[in-house]
Amino acid sequence: MSTLDWSFVALVSGVLLFAFFGLVLLFIAIKSRKKLRLFKKKRPPKNKKKRRRFMQAKRKLARSFRKQLTWGLLLLVFAGLCSGGAMYSRYYQQNRLNGEESEAIVQGYYILDELAVQLENVNKNENPQKSIKNIRNLSAKMVSFGFTKSSATLKEEKQVLLNRYFNTMKQLGTNLNEQTVEALQQEDIFSGYMNDIKKMEDSQKEIFKQFKINEAALKQKQ
């Protein structure tokens, strides 16, 4: 379990514990209040010693009632705060990439950009042997995307979006790894792969939009 998972479990546990003890104390406070009302209805004994005991018991009960009420309400406030924290933690988990996912998306961004350059070089016959070697290295990295799976804590539609992207990267890498210089210099094959890269880039843009990733910052690091 990740740190966020543990924090969510801890916050939910806090909600249950604070709410339980808070409600118990409020229940006890209600009973104390009823007893206090009964005390107030009674007339203090005329005997001085009994009267002192009566007043002491009344003050003690009043203090207990105030403490029970204060702590009961305070614990319920803590339960509310933990509840808010748990909801935010779950929202964050459902809408944010974890470290592995973020690394894969960033790496995929640079791979696709470099892949388009290398394919152009092969197609234009600019040092094709070096470019095909680079393409095979890039395609091997793309195949490894098949081992990356989206986090189960994400919203379902975001899981589908990421997993489709990872699988498509794997398929594109597998296909490219089998290509030769001669094949990639054929216009129809070259155009087909460039279209595939364009589709992958469109998928990336949707991921950037969904997860609020700053593409401009990635471009600056190139």
- The CA-based angle 138-217-95, given to 5 degrees, is 85
Mean pLDDT of the chain: 88
The pLDDT score that the predictor gives to residue 48 is: 75
Res 222: pLDDT: 62
161 touches 207 (CB < 8 A) = yes
Q: Which residue has the higher pLDDT, 114 or 88?
A: 114
Can you tell me the distance from the alpha carbon of 4 to that of 214, in angstroms, rounded to the nearest whole number? 23
- With 90 as the cut, is the pLDDT of residue 167 above it? yes
Residue pointed to by tokens 């005997």: 47
- Per mean pLDDT, which range of 22-26, 73-77, 91-95 is the poorest? 91-95
Name the nearest CA neighbour of 169 among 146, 193, 150, 198: 146
Q: Taking 80 as the threshold, does the pLDDT of residue 210 lie above it?
A: yes
Residue from 97, 103, 108, 27 nearest 69 by CA: 27
Burial status of residue 157 (CB atoms within 10 A of its CB: 0-12, 13-18, 19 or more): exposed
Residue 136 has pLDDT above 90, yes or no: yes
Angle between the N-to-C axes of helices 156-177 and 128-143, in degrees from 0 to 180, rounded to the nearest 10: 140
Mean pLDDT of 44-66: 80
In the predicted structure, residue 91 carries a pLDDT above the cut 90: no
Q: The tokens of 43 are what? A: 């007339």
pTM: 0.73
